[in-house]
Amino acid sequence: MTAPAKALAEKLPESRGGINWFKYASPQTFYPLAGKLIPLFGWPALALALVGLYLSFFVAPTDATQGESYRIIFIHVPAAWMSMIIYLAMAFWCAVGLIFNTRLSFMMSQALAPTGAMWTFIALWTGALWGKPTWGAWWVWDARLTSELILLFLYLGYMALVAAIDDPRRADRAGAVVALVGAINVPIIYFSVKWWNTLHQGASVSVTSAPKMASIMLAGMLVMALAAWAYSVAVVLVRVRALMLERERNTDWVAQLVESSR
Amino acid sequence: MLRILFAVVRRDLLLAWRRRADVFTTLAFFVIVASLFPLGVGPEANLLRTMAPGVLWVSALLATLLSVTRLFAADYADGTLEQMLLSTEPLTLIVLGKVMAYWLVTGLPLVVLAPLLGVQFDLPQGAIGVLSLSLALGTPALSLLGGIGAALTLGLRGGGVLLALLILPLYVPVLIFGAGAVGADAAGLGAGAHLLLLGACFLSALAVSPLATAAALRIAME
């Protein structure tokens, strides 16, 4: 950061009053914060995953109709949730980046994409493992499966475009346009595919009605979902820190960081 | 405002007329891809009749994908695009004009030619009418969405393959409702609902994609 910019940044909080939301929009200030946050999410992720796996494999009873194979949902459902939430988060950071012109927002969305793609892939994979004993087929052309597959393509398209452009500024912005157009299109794709063909069961858990599953199963699933959240946050922070160092490698603060860690 | 729109349409049509071979290639590609399917799956009439809507729609989609890279390429190469970006007229309108001309050159011929291919696939007469109507509503949406991809991948290495990865997922609703309209008509359900939804796809693409394309062009030319 140049001297006048620094002076401006120091002056800003007083002139705005209240909390300065933009303080951590700079890689220089966000880098140490992210470093502190990683263990705060990483260790709970591990603990929650262990508790969740214990609940889902040893405590939760065998399902009356589906037998043991239903236990896949403890991974499948959190993965499917995360795949959609991360896409929204990605589109959100892209919008923030385009509106406020903050570099860090684009780095956030690029850090989110691989994790989102991973969850999408896990959701599809575990879904196939569950579908074979339950429906008798690894894959059916059903609304949810198909839209999840298209979500995976959207993630891959975003990552491929960002990787194909050498100039980081253009890569950021072009990727943001793709992510936002995709975000508008996701509901359209979802409903088009839903009307096209459907077999997947309706949602078993919703906020408005009582859950249609035993409470211990629900507890296991929610703990696993929290573990997935914590894991995603921790991993994304690790990745965004790496991106920050790579992008800002020519700046003073990275040089100082390298100097002090020697 | 409308003057610039028509000026761009007129210019692009004139350019296309001077290089008629490009138009012909897209059309030939459409016909050849559609004709390959019967060779691949066998000439059984019932099978072909059920496949026809999907096959023709996918062929139209691929033909669009193949030709849409050219939408901005020539203007980018000779610097015209820079002048368009510098112009005082809204870039959104210029983009809309270019996409309109592009559709007239590549989309409309597909719509006109589709009934002929429908006959090849032994589609009943009613279904052929629905097919043309669905293509007439759907191909403009394909052109509009393709414009976003073309602008984003402008001047990139391996732009063509990347373009496919970017815009084919966005084409899914158009494909479903377009092919679905013909399928629903053949099943005796009436194609109305599908065609209305296809129209909705077209209108939302019309609202969003010129803006997104203009933004993408500014990013690409920065």
Please provide the DSSP assignment of B185-201 as one string: HHTTS-SHHHHHHHHHH
Average pLDDT, chain B: 89
Q: At what angle do helices A73-100 and A143-164 cross, to 10 degrees?
A: 40
In a 10 Å sphere around its CB, with 0-12 CB exposed, 13-18 middle and 19+ buried, how is residue B206 labelled?
A: middle
pLDDT at B185 over 50: yes
Ramachandran angles phi, psi of A67, nearest 5°: 70, -145
Q: Would an 8 Å CB–CB cutoff place A101 in contact with chain B?
A: no
d(CA A189, CA B175): 11
Band (pLDDT 50/70/90 cuts) for residue A208 is low
Are A223 and A48 in contact by the 8 Å Cβ rule? The answer is: yes
Q: Would an 8 Å CB–CB cutoff place B165 in contact with chain A?
A: yes
Ramachandran angles phi, psi of B19, nearest 5°: -125, 70
Percentage of residues of chain A with pLDDT beyond 90:
34
pLDDT of residue B180: 87
Mean pLDDT of A138-167: 87
Average pLDDT, chain A: 82
Q: Do A192 and B197 touch (CB under 8 A)?
A: yes
Band (pLDDT 50/70/90 cuts) for residue A61 is confident
Number of cross-chain residue pairs from A and B with Cβ atoms under 8 Å apart: 72
Q: Would an 8 Å CB–CB cutoff place A117 in contact with chain B?
A: no
Mean pLDDT of B32-39: 90
Q: Domain segments of chain A: what residues?
A: 74-198+215-246
Give the amino acid at B75. D
Over the stretch B77-130, which tens digit does the pLDDT of each residue have? 898 899 989 988 899 999 999 999 999 999 999 999 999 998 888 888 888 999
pTM tops 0.80, yes or no? yes
Mean pLDDT of A238-242: 92
pLDDT at A94 over 90: yes
Q: Do A177 and B215 touch (CB under 8 A)?
A: yes
Band (pLDDT 50/70/90 cuts) for residue A197 is low
